[in-house]
Amino acid sequence: MKKNKVKVQDISKPSRQLVELDPKEFMKLPHPYEDWDSQKELKQVTEDQRNRLECSLDGHVALGLQKIESKEEQEQFVKKFLEGLKKLLTKENNWTFLKPLTLSLEYCAKCQTCNDACPVYVSSGKKEIYRPTYRAEVLRRIVNKYLKNQPDFMAKLTGNDIELNYTTVMRLVELAYRCTLCRRCVQTCPIGVDNGLITHELRKLFSQELGIAPVEIHAKGSVQHLQVGSSTGMVKQAFVDTLEFLEDEMEEKVGKKIKFPIDKKGSEILLIHNAGEYLSWPENPEAFAILFDAAGVDYTISSEIVGYDGVNYGLWYDDVQLARVAIKHAQIAKQLGVKKIVVGECGHAHKAISVIADRVLNKELNIPRESCMALFEDIVMNDKVKLDPSKNDMPVTLHDPCNMVRLMGVVEPQRRILRKIAPKFREMEPHGVYNYCCGGGSGFAIMPSINFPDWKYNISGRMKMKQVLEAFQNEIDPDIKKMVCAPCSNCKGMLRDLLEYYEVWEKAGIHYTGLVEFIVNAMVDIKEPFIEWPMI
């Protein structure tokens, strides 16, 4: 055994920190980042934060969970965790994922084939705790030892050596948020074990039983979404005002007044955007409006609370919240009498309402849901608007959002479009269903807690950074302006932060945008370039 190698059972042993992260051990980045890691240091938590908050896993804080001092309360905490674990394995409490979870817990051969598929594990320099199998194995051992009441010696013989204590549970809370749920590991498992699902279920246990979830995902996320109308905090009136502002902005850009159709009953389509687009990337909903106007698409946008925000954070951590938001979306579509719901450029919104909620939205709520990619393809490939590809003369690569591609199978429409309208389009490797996550998946993109962003930029987003740089290695000169097409709000958020952290625009001239922006940029009728570049 390698000296100081962290073992599965070490998670239970109290220590200042289970692993130390050293940028020098991280996966190397290509030119011009050969020396980057020797120059940058990871942000450390303060001693005060270390005393108050759980940061004994890897020194990073995704949740900021307050430590519990009293022994009695710690015991209660552990007991409650075990109660939740029991519930995960009952059909009444977890019919949603009981079968895949039970199979994944019972059938891992522990061959470690999945490890190298995980961008977090590889990017970190192969830290033990980031193996896809590590947290799964912790949970599996707890189930086998504590729920099946194995005595200690038997647990050791059968590979279930673990101690369930306060330290274990506190570290598990953080560890549940060191995986982006991209499920790339599952593609390589010879048996089909789903370590991503086990992480998902662990998050659910914490949320549904102990009420523990990252504040940005739960309190300010799905709860705010249901109560205020949007996870961005944007209330209905602010949303309507924002649309008016965007209409003025569009008029300035394209010289034509284009209205957002709001609450238009009987429309063919209810279009739902991730509301973050309206605030962070208004050019995206504007481009939808310009394109749909030109192509004569009959659609509406809802101004009902929940209805103007397509996100569904429940997908990442809580089945009840997932169901509530999905049902609300479907109810609004039903009230508007639309024929279908079209999801804007948001990967997790795609999967949540199209795939996962397919077995929540029953009977009259079962309104067809469609990806905007299919609609774009129809418009572009059938020449419903006049396009001039030479207007997109920059080198372009495509980032595949996991939720849209590996987890939903929407792979080719976006490629067929780019091949037609972006002459310098090239793939990054690997791509399509074998893509790498942007590093911001499963909520990471919106989690700015303490020093967690440093972890994201250096570990979960590192593989994407590498892929993007490699796609443009022959034109890496910052004077050549290059674009990453990322048809997902969450991925764009992560790319924005990642490119800023690594000063990529300055060093390599790479920027990012969505897909519809490329289509509008190529429209013959739009005289000025629609795609904008950062100011230098």
Partner 1 sequence: MEKISFLQILNYSAVIVLFLGLLSKAIKYFTMPINLRWELYPIPHEKGRPHGGSYFEDLNWWTKPREKTLIGQLKFMIPEILFIKALYHDNRKLWIFSFPFHFGLYLYIGGFILLLIGSVLTSYINLSSDLFIIKIVQSLAIIFFGIGFILGIFGSIGLLIRRSTSEELEGFTSPKDFFNLIFILLIMASGLISLILYDKGLIAARVYINGLITFNPIVSPNPMFIIHIVLLSLFLIYFPFTHMTHMFAKYLMWDKIKWEDEPNLKGSAIEARVDKALGYVQDWSAPHIHTGTKWSETATKGVEENEKK
The answer to whether residue 358 forms part of the interface with partner 1 (CB under 8 A) is yes
Judged by DSSP in three states, 336 sits in helix
374 or 524: whose CB is closer to partner 1? 374
DSSP 346-396: -HHHHHHHHTGGGGTS-GGG---EEEHHHHHHHHHHTTSS-B-GGG--S-E
Least CB distance from residue 351 to partner 1, whole Å? Answer: 9
C-alpha angle 455/173/105, rounded to 5°? Answer: 110
Residues binding partner 1: number (CB under 8 A): 100
Instruction: Give dist(CA 476, CA 408) in Å, integer.
Output: 33
59-98 residues in contact with partner 1 (CB under 8 A) are 80, 83-84, 87, 91-93, 95-98
254 or 373: whose CB is closer to partner 1? 373
Task: Identify the residue among 192, 233, 255, 448 touching partner 1 (CB under 8 A).
Answer: 192
Contact region with partner 1 (CB under 8 A), list: 276-284, 406-414, 466-474, 481-489:
406-414
158 or 474: whose CB is closer to partner 1? 158
The answer to whether residue 147 forms part of the interface with partner 1 (CB under 8 A) is no
Q: Quickly count helices (H) and strands (E) in the chain.
A: 25, 8
Tell me which DSSP letter residue 183 carries: -
Least CB distance from residue 248 to partner 1, whole Å? Answer: 32
Q: Write the CB contacts of 385 (distance below 8 Å, at least 6 apart in sequence).
A: 291, 294, 295, 379, 519, 523, 525
Q: How distant, in Å, are the alpha carbons of 88, 103, 325 from that of 398? A: 38, 35, 29
103 or 258: whose CB is closer to partner 1? 103
493-532 residues in contact with partner 1 (CB under 8 A) are none
80 or 496: whose CB is closer to partner 1? 80
Instruction: Give dist(CA 441, CA 347) in Å, integer.
Output: 9
Dihedral sign, Cα of residue 524, residue 525, residue 529, residue 530: negative
205-224 residues in contact with partner 1 (CB under 8 A) are 207-211, 218, 223
Contact region with partner 1 (CB under 8 A), list: 256-264, 357-365, 437-445, 522-530:
357-365
Task: Identify the residue among 43, 264, 328, 384 touching partner 1 (CB under 8 A).
Answer: 328
274 or 435: whose CB is closer to partner 1? 435
188 or 303: whose CB is closer to partner 1? 188
Judged by DSSP in three states, 193 sits in coil
Binding mask 427-456 for partner 1 (x = CB under 8 A): -----xx-----------------------
305-324 residues in contact with partner 1 (CB under 8 A) are 305-306, 319-321, 323-324
Starting at the edge strand found earlier in the chain, the sheet holding 340-343 runs: 299-300, 269-272, 340-343, 369-371
Binding mask 238-257 for partner 1 (x = CB under 8 A): --------------------
269-308 residues in contact with partner 1 (CB under 8 A) are 305-306
Least CB distance from residue 532 to partner 1, whole Å? Answer: 30
106-135 residues in contact with partner 1 (CB under 8 A) are 106-113, 115-117, 128, 133
Length of the chain, in residues: 536
- 464, 399 contact by CB (below 8 A): yes
Least CB distance from residue 81 to partner 1, whole Å? Answer: 11
DSSP H helices, 9-96, are 36-39, 47-52, 71-88, 91-94
Q: How distant, in Å, are the alpha carbons of 17, 329, 339, 402 from that of 437? A: 27, 26, 32, 6
2-21 residues in contact with partner 1 (CB under 8 A) are 2, 5, 7-8
365-404 residues in contact with partner 1 (CB under 8 A) are 366, 368, 370-371, 373-375, 377-378
The answer to whether residue 333 forms part of the interface with partner 1 (CB under 8 A) is no
Tell me which DSSP letter residue 480 carries: S
Residue 308: how many other CB atoms lie within 10 Å = 25
Instruction: Give dist(CA 6, CA 73) in Å, integer.
Output: 28
Task: Identify the residue among 74, 188, 303, 335 touching partner 1 (CB under 8 A).
Answer: 188
44 or 93: whose CB is closer to partner 1? 93
Task: Identify the residue among 48, 70, 151, 190 touching partner 1 (CB under 8 A).
Answer: 190
42 or 85: whose CB is closer to partner 1? 85
Instruction: Give dist(CA 429, CA 414) in Å, integer.
Output: 16
